[in-house]
A and B are shown apart, each in its own frame.
Chain A
C-alpha cells in the first residue's frame, strides 16, 4: 500500500480534521468521535435540516457537500463503512432547526439501518424526520428491481436540489418530495480502470488486468455489467450515455444536466474527452445540457475511472439546481 497516511486506522479522522482546518468558513466537527461535519454557521430556526451520511473515501461525497444551499450536517463512517447510529443521531440533532430533518443518502444497507434506528430513537423525543434514498446506479440492479440499486454520484444533484428547497423555506413535506423527485430523475453508470486500496484492509478492492476495464462497477468495487479490453473513449462514452439515457426515456426538447465524474485518479483531460462525445451525442438528439459538471464530485479514493450521471430536468428542478450554493468543493451562483 502506497498512500500518504500515518496510521491506517486514523485515515478518516485525520482527513476530516484536515478538511475542517482548511475550510473553517464552511465546516465544523462535532459528535462523540468528531465524525459529524456540520455547517460553520448556526442552523437557521424554522429551516428544514438536510442531512446525509456514509463512509469515508468518497470526498467530496458526503461531508464535503455541507454548505449553504446544500447539506446542513453529515455523519461519516470509516472508509467504505457506514456511520454509527450515534453519529447519525448527532447529525440529525445538529441539523434540526425546529422544522424537521430530511435524511438523504445512498441506498446501502448499513447506512439505511443506522439512519432508520437514529430516526426512530429521535422520534421518541419529538424530532420529525423523513428519508429519501438515492438509488441512481443503473448497473447495480435491473430496472425491474430499481429499489435495490445503489446510490452513487447522482446524489449530489439530490443534495443540491433538496438543499436549495430547504434554503428557500419549503417545509419538510415539500423538501422531501423535491428530493425524491430529484433522486428519481437521476441515472448514473460508472466505468473502472484500476482499483483503490482501503487503508485498513491494505489491499486493492478488486483485481483487473492492465488492459481491461469494467463497465458498471460500483464505487466500492462492486461487480459491474461486463469486463473487457480497454476501448476508445468515444465508444465508452457512447455506451455509458446509451445506458443512462434509455432509462430516462429522453427525447428531443428535453433538458438535462450532465455530470462526468472522476472516480478519483482520472484526470480532467480524460473527463473532457468523454464529455466532448456525450455533449455531441445529446446535441444530435436535440437534448439541451444545463449546467454541465466535469470533475471530481464523488470518488472512490484513488480508483481510476469515471461515472456519467444525467438528471432530467423540469422547470422546478432546474430552478433549484441553479439556486446559489457554496461549499469547499462546489459553488453555484
Chain B
C-alpha cells in the first residue's frame, strides 16, 4: 500500500479536525500546570491547516509544507512551533517521493523526533510529546500491514501517557511544578494521542 499527496492531505485534514475537537480537553489539562492555551494553540493551527489544504498538493512534500507553514503562521506557542518543525521535517524528507510507503513511516518518525529534540532542547524521558512519538515509532517499526497502523499508533500513544504519568515533567513550564506534575498526564503527550486519533 502507498499514500499519495491526496491521501496525505486527507490525513492532515482529519488531524486538524481531531485537534479542534480536542481543544477544550487540552486547554483544561494544560491549565493544571501551564498557561492553559494548548488547546487554543492546536485549534488555531488546525484552522490554518484546513485553509491551506485545498486538495491541490501534487506531491506528499507539498501537503506537509502547507501544514508546516500553517502552524508557523498560526501560533507562537511552543507546541505550534514544534508542529511546524515536525511537518517541515516531513516535507524535507519526502521531497523526492511521489508516494509514501509503510516502510517510510518509522524512519520519518525518527527524523522528526531528532529534529524536535534539537529545536526544543529536550530529550527522551523528559515527559513530553517526544516520548509519545518515540513510543509510536517503536510500535510501527517493522510493521508491514498498514491496516494495523492506526490501531498500533493509538495504543502506543495512549500507553505512553500512562507510562509517564507518575514521572515528573522535566521540560517547559511544567518543569517548574515538577512535583505537582507527578500523577498528571502530560498535555503534550495527550495532544499526540488525540491527533493520532482512535481507529474508526
Contact (A113, B35) CB under 8 Å given A32-B73, A86-B72 = no
Task: Tell me which of A64-72, A77-85, A248-256, A264-272 binds B.
Answer: A77-85
Across the interface, name the chain A residue whose C-beta is closest to B41: A81
Q: Which of B74, B76, B172, B177 contacts A83 (CB 8 A)?
A: B76
Query: What count of chain B residues pass the 8 Å CB interface test?
Result: 26
Asked whether A85 lies within 8 Å of B31 as measured between CB atoms, the reply is no
CA distance A116 to B37 in the complex (A): 22
CA distance A70 to B17 in the complex (A): 44
Asked whether A82 lies within 8 Å of B35 as measured between CB atoms, the reply is no
Q: Which of A81, A112, A201, A203 contacts B75 (CB 8 A)?
A: A81
Q: Which of B31, B75, B82, B177 contacts A84 (CB 8 A)?
A: B75
Asked whether A201 lies within 8 Å of B37 as measured between CB atoms, the reply is yes
Asked whether A200 lies within 8 Å of B37 as measured between CB atoms, the reply is yes
CA distance A80 to B40 in the complex (A): 13
Q: Is B192 an interface residue (CB 8 A)?
A: no
Which chain A residues lie closer than 8 Å to B72 at the CB level? 84-86, 117
Which chain B residues lie closer than 8 Å to A96 at the CB level? none
Q: Assuming A77-B76, A109-B78, what are 13 further A-B pairs, CB within 8 angstroms?
A: A78-B77, A81-B41, A84-B74, A84-B75, A85-B72, A85-B81, A85-B84, A87-B76, A109-B121, A116-B119, A117-B72, A201-B31, A222-B173
Q: Is A110 an interface residue (CB 8 A)?
A: yes
* Most chain A beta-carbon contacts within 10 A, residue among B36, B77, B173: B77
Across the interface, name the chain A residue whose C-beta is closest to B44: A78
Q: Which of B35, B171, B172 contacts A81 (CB 8 A)?
A: B35
Asked whether B73 lies within 8 Å of A81 as measured between CB atoms, the reply is no
A164 → chain B closest CB, angstroms? 28
Contact (A113, B73) CB under 8 Å given A80-B35, A222-B176, A223-B177 = no
Which chain B residues lie closer than 8 Å to A312 at the CB level? none
* Most chain B beta-carbon contacts within 10 A, residue among A75, A82, A109, A201: A109
Across the interface, name the chain B residue whose C-beta is closest to A110: B78
Q: Which of A78, A117, A205, A220 contacts B119 (CB 8 A)?
A: A117
